[in-house]
Chains A and B, each alone.
Chain A
Amino acid sequence: MSDNSGNSVNTAPLLQVRDLVHEFRTDLGTVHAVSGVSFDVRAGETLGIVGETGSGKSTLARAIVQAPRPTSGAVVFRGADLVTLRGTRLLQARRHLQMVFQDPFGSLDPKWRVRDLVEEPLVAYKTGDRTARRRRVGEVLELVGLAGYSTRRPRELSGGQAQRVAIARAVALNPALIICDEAVSSLDVLIQAQVLNLFERLRAELGLSYLFIAHDLALVKQVSDRVAVMYLGRLCEVGPGEQVYRQPLHPYTRALLDSVPGTATARAAKTIRGEPPSPVHPPSGCRFRTRCPRAEPRCADEEPAMRERAAGHVVACHFPLEGIPA
């Protein structure tokens, strides 16, 4: 049994995002970065979010962790709505939610040593005394394969090692959910594979859930159980990874698949046109209509709602692709 977001309602999900909106003012106008996003992440699963530049996926990630607080909407994590919490209550609620960022060096204070970086969350949440904390740091560094690196500074590390320090820090408090915001996009292909394997191993050993955000469709599908496709602040399609790949329902998903080098790239020119519109002036109705080869007048008048088309597979489109295999 599923609700309209394509999520099972049998067990309470770990993370429930409902109608999340985030807008902010700039000199050019109001940027509608996230405009009504809803999804669930269940315990033990990895939900992947695919989106290109301007999709709002990074803003979404930050809005979920309340940094900064979203304009409106609900973020229910382990039963508590983070949007309504303040101060210590928010701190405690956020303890089991961690994040790994895109730039491995940017997320580490260059003046700190590895062991202090990993210890930081332990210190902040006052878990045990110094000895206990140091022991945990050692454990976690070993877990990510960096035993013996505790006294190094970030500039003495390679990109892959720095990212592993960031992962160690995220894992130190034994979180339930880790948000990976383009966490491997800056790494070389071979290092990227190493880090992805690390993510999988931690998932298995520690029972983690992930919200994996990236612009690379193959990458997202590789690590995810379910995949959500995001365009200009809204979700287009959510469903099991295999299914979204094999039977994409949204024209944008189709375009993304066609753009992957090596997969019938000649079709790319036909499945998507033009430039992405600005998030300051998003198109009315369906935001993808200005580039969609299937757009009709209805698409400009009416914003398509998320509807379930197959088990656990929802799409927001007036004219979804039906049964056209990838």
Chain B
Amino acid sequence: MSAPLPELLAPGTEPSVARASRARGRGRALNLRIWLPAGFLILLFCACFLWPLVYPVPKPTGGSILEAGLPPLSPGHIFGTDPVGNDVLSRILYGGRVSFEVGLSVTAIGLVIGGLLGTAAGFWGGAVDTVVMRVLDVLIAFPALVLALAIAEGLGPSEMHVIWALSFFSIPAFGRIARSATLALRGQTFMLAARLSGTSRRRIILRHVVPNIMPQLLTFSLLGIGVAIILEGALSFLGLGIPLPGPSWGSMIAQGQGTLSASPELVLIPSAFLFVTVVALNVLGDALRERWAR
């Protein structure tokens, strides 16, 4: 417990006293927890999307059987190849693209739609609140796997369908966060002060509510991207996500199961990437929450 004592933060105190009472060095550790994972994620993002554009990387599909089952560190195949002959590194990079695309899309959809709905519910309350919350409840009531299965069966597995299915949960999740954040804000005196200043409702939402709930929503977004990536991985693992032979970290793990004892790296490498990416997102999300909850 190192919360500053009430007296040191009381109104009238020199602000630097309040800042100074935080432990020395914690500021530096926090910076590390922000920039290290952020740097990794940015690097990974660039690698997945930009590297194949500038450096010749073997295609992730259509590999030759002649190159099947090569171990890591083979010439031309840093991570080796899979039983069908595809370069593992390439599949990791293109699979990473899928993870990012799904993660970012699902989160963006949730943030925009869910955020809008939740903010409206929290701000206007009453009937609006009830209607929005019931809609969100309906969305959240759908069992994840059943829905994904139904979509995959009915419409065929694809990346877009995965995104739709996962959005079913990100929308209500963001909706609830936005709603509770807005409700907490409504009790604040500065909201009343803004109304008394004559500011219109629309302007209050845009200039007062949104900037103040954004930190919470953004932190939740980072954690949400991680969750979406894992869920995509799980769906692909089950064959309900990205259809083979398309690359996805999840399906790579599923495929690698068959040759686990002979070539464990086929499971370990995509698992490691999945793990580190999600951990980086979580650490960054937590660190930003700390930084912004000053």
Direct A–B contact in complex, judged by CB atoms less than 8 Å apart = yes
* B196 within 8 A of partner (CB): yes
Binary B-proximity of A66-106 (CB < 8 A = 1, otherwise 0): 01000000000000000000000001001100110111111
What is the bound-complex CA distance between A65 and B10, given in angstroms? 29
Asked whether any CB of chain B lies closer than 8 Å to the CB of A111, the reply is yes
The reply on A191 being an interface residue by CB < 8 A is yes
- Of chain B, the residue at the smallest CB distance from A101 is B189
CA distance A62 to B188 in the complex (A): 14
- From residue A110, how far is it (CB to closest CB) to chain B in Å? 7
Chain B interface size band reads 20 to 34
Bound-state CA distance A123–B199 (Å) is 8
The residue of chain A having its C-beta at the shortest distance from the C-beta of B199 within the complex is: A124
Do most interface residues of chain B lie in helix, strand or loop, or is the interface mixed? helix
Closest Cβ neighbor of B193 among chain A residues: A107
Count of A residues near B, CB < 8 Å?
38
- In the bound complex, do residue A187 and residue B198 qualify as a contact, i.e. CB atoms below 8 Å apart? no
CA distance A62 to B195 in the complex (A): 12
Q: Are B197 and A158 in contact, with the CB atoms below 8 A?
A: no
Is B13 touching A166 in the complex (CB atoms < 8 A)?
no
Query: In the complex, what residue of chain B is closest to A166 when comparing beta carbons?
Result: B193
Query: What is the CB-to-nearest-CB distance from B14 to chain A, in angstroms, rounded to a whole number?
Result: 7
B195 touches A186 (CB 8 A): no
A159→B198 contact, CB < 8 A: no
In the complex, what residues of A have CB within 8 A of residue B197's CB?
120-121, 124, 169
- Which of A65, A98, A120, A166 meets B194, CB within 8 Å? A120
Does A159 contact B10, Cβ atoms closer than 8 Å?
A: yes
Q: Does B190 contact A (CB under 8 A)?
A: yes
> What 1/0 flags go to B194-213 for Cβ under 8 Å of A?
11111110010001100110
Mask of A244-281 contacts with B, CB within 8 angstroms, 1/0: 00000000000000000000000000000000000000
User: Taking CB as reference atom, which chain B residue is nearest A116?
Assistant: B207
Residues in B140-190 with C-beta less than 8 Å from chain A: 188-190
Are A155 and B294 closer than 8 Å at their CB atoms? Answer: yes
Contact of A109 with B189 in the complex, beta carbons under 8 Å: no
Tell me the complex Cα distance, A159–B188, Å: 17
> Which of B15, B194, B200, B294 is within 8 Å of A109, CB to CB?
B194
B11 interfacial contact with A, CB 8 Å: yes
Across the interface, do B12 and A99 meet the contact criterion of CB distance under 8 Å? Answer: no
Q: Distance (Å) between the CB of B277 and the closest chain A CB?
A: 31
- Other A-B pairs beyond A107-B189, A108-B193, A169-B197, 7, CB < 8 Å: A103-B189, A121-B197, A123-B199, A159-B13, A160-B12, A188-B10, A188-B11
**Interface on B for A, CB 8 Å cutoff?**
10-15, 188-190, 192-200, 203, 207-208, 211-212, 294
